[in-house]
Amino acid sequence: MTASDESTVALAFSGGLDTTVCVPLLEEEYGYDRVIGVTVDVGQPEAEFDEARRTAEALDLEHHVVDATEAFATLCYRAVKANATYQGYPLGTALARPVIAAAILEVAEEQGCAAVAHGCTGKGNDQLRFEAVWRGSDLDVIAPVRELGLTREWEMEYAAERDLPVEGGNEGVWSIDQNLWSRAVEGGELEEPSYIPPEEIYEWTAEPDGTTTVEVTFEAGRPVAVDGEELPPVELIEYLNEYAGQYGVGRTDVMEDRMLGLKVRENYEHPAASVLLAAHQALEDLVLTKEERRVKRGIEQEWAEKAYEGLVFAPVVRALEGFIDETQSVVSGSATVRLEGGTCRAVARDSEYAVYSEEMASFNTESVAGIEQADATGVAKYHGLQDRLANEVADRVRGRVPSISTDEE
């Protein structure tokens, strides 16, 4: 690690309006002599890296590009194990931010920076996700857009006055965040809950047409193959994004509750995530016991909430994953899902760890492992006994006749 230089700051740099404006602001308003731009690859389109490189060159900005796709894919697989979604969507942006923040922090420490900076506003979630990682270091954290109260209109005027290399045109209609796990689209008329999104906002998913099936193989909860072909995590996710997207799978339109209390309208595309989550859940339903599934649902909710908050490195998440990993030891096998009409549903599952006996479940067998149908009589007598006793007491005290009516008296 290089010794800290009080005049150097590392900026999370995308080459877009916010981060481009931040470069001169960090120099002029905050007094930094050296600004380092760091762009982290978590599966964005190549065009975004081209834009970041061009903008950095035009600004004469020292620019670092870090490949974190493998680390991000690993986190996505942890999310699969946890069946993690937040209010209906698979957490693509939320999962990516801590990975990006950790990569930027590593560069900042290697370069001897005194501070790290981002271009997030004071209204969104990303400021919290970045800073949850950064504030665990000794570096200062700077947020020019938030701290200076900047608006997008002011930034555009500032960029024009300074002749900053900011691309405009129709690309500014929607705000798009894309990574390996999801593609998020917001802004413009999409902010209106009553507005029906046009088909043009979608790139990963086509209008639903046709039907097919896809088989996903898991080992200890991790996807390892699609239709029998073994693929590493990044390639497997990319393949399913393209393949399932052809059938319209993976669209979510949600009124999302942000951490700061704001309710916002978000549109997401996530074909691979939809397939993997559906297949994983189906396999778990086959191999886990009722009690494991019941307890795990609560743990999954907690994991997803922490992931949404950008706190995947928190001690409680490690503790939650202790239970999750224990259950995943038997989540090996395959699940087949049908892609049809923009939906994805499990239609078959198979595992040597299945907690299932066809012989015991069949209506055509009388006695299996010493258990006969008549043995259920005692169970039936006790089932609901306490409830019946409580109702009898209540009816006697209130002087009423037992009834299944729900009408108020």
CATH code where residue 24 lies: 3.40.50.620
Beta bridge partners of 337: 214, 346
Burial of 51 (0-12, 13-18, 19+ CB in 10 A): buried
Domain presence at residue 92: yes
Backbone angles phi, psi at 346, to 5 degrees: -70, 135
Domain presence at residue 209: yes
Q: What is the pLDDT of residues 63-74, one digit of tens each?
A: 999 999 999 999
Q: What is the mean pLDDT of residues 312-335?
A: 97
In the 8-state DSSP scheme, what is residue 4?
P
Residues 205 and 154 in one domain: no
Q: What is the pLDDT of residues 16-55, one digit of tens each?
A: 999 999 999 999 999 999 999 999 999 999 999 999 999 9
Query: Going along 147-273, which residue ranges are E strands?
Result: 175-178, 183-186, 211-219, 222-226, 229-230, 251-257, 263-269
Which positions ≥6 away from 129 have C-beta within 8 Å?
94, 97, 98, 101, 309, 310
Could you give the percent of the chain with pLDDT greater than 90?
83
Q: What is the mean pLDDT of residues 222-230?
A: 98
- Total number of domains in the chain: 3
Domain presence at residue 360: no
Residues 345 and 249 in one domain: yes
Token pair for residue 312?
């995947």
Residues 48 and 144 in one domain: yes
Domain presence at residue 358: no
Residues 151 and 199 in one domain: no
Residues 122 and 189 in one domain: no
Catalytic residue chosen out of the listed positions 14, 78, 126, 338 = 126
Q: Is the pLDDT of residue 113 over 60?
A: yes
Q: What is the pLDDT of residues 141-155, one digit of tens each?
A: 999 999 999 998 999
Q: Identify the residue whose tokens are 């995590």.
A: 233
* Cα–Cα distance, 292 to 13 (Å, whole number): 43
The pLDDT of residue 364 is 66
State the Cα angle at 214 between 212 and 217, rounded to 5°.
170
* Cα–Cα distance, 278 to 271 (Å, whole number): 11
Residues 340 and 390 in one domain: no
Mean pLDDT score of the chain: 92
Q: In CATH, what number is assigned to the domain containing residue 281?
A: 3.90.1260.10
Q: Is the pLDDT of residue 403 over 80?
A: no
Residues 166 and 185 in one domain: no
Domain presence at residue 404: no
Residues 158 and 201 in one domain: no
* Cα–Cα distance, 185 to 178 (Å, whole number): 9
Residue with more model confidence, 405 or 248: 248
Choose one of 177, 208, 225: the last residue of a domain: 177
* Side-chain-facing half-sphere of 409: CA atoms under 13 Å: 6
Residues 335 and 376 in one domain: no
Q: Are strands 251-257 and 333-340 parallel, antiparallel or unpaired?
A: unpaired
Q: Is the pLDDT of residue 249 over 90?
A: yes
Q: What is the mean pLDDT of residues 179-206?
A: 94
Q: Quick check: helix, strand or coil at residue 396?
A: helix
Domain presence at residue 115: yes
Q: What is the mean pLDDT of residues 391-398?
A: 88
Q: Is the pLDDT of residue 409 over 70?
A: no
Q: Model confidence at 168, in pLDDT bands (50, 70, 90)?
A: very low
Query: Structural domain of residue 344, as residue ranges?
Result: 181-350
Closest among 160, 156, 142, 200 to 176, alpha carbons compared: 200
Catalytic residue chosen out of the listed positions 5, 34, 53, 175 = 175
**End-to-end CA distance of the chain, in Å?**
75
The pLDDT of residue 169 is 37
**126 is an active site residue:** yes
Domain presence at residue 212: yes
Residues 119 and 136 in one domain: yes
Residues 143 and 230 in one domain: no
* Side-chain-facing half-sphere of 117: CA atoms under 13 Å: 32
Residues 345 and 248 in one domain: yes
Domain presence at residue 362: no
**175 is an active site residue:** yes
Backbone angles phi, psi at 23, to 5 degrees: -60, -55
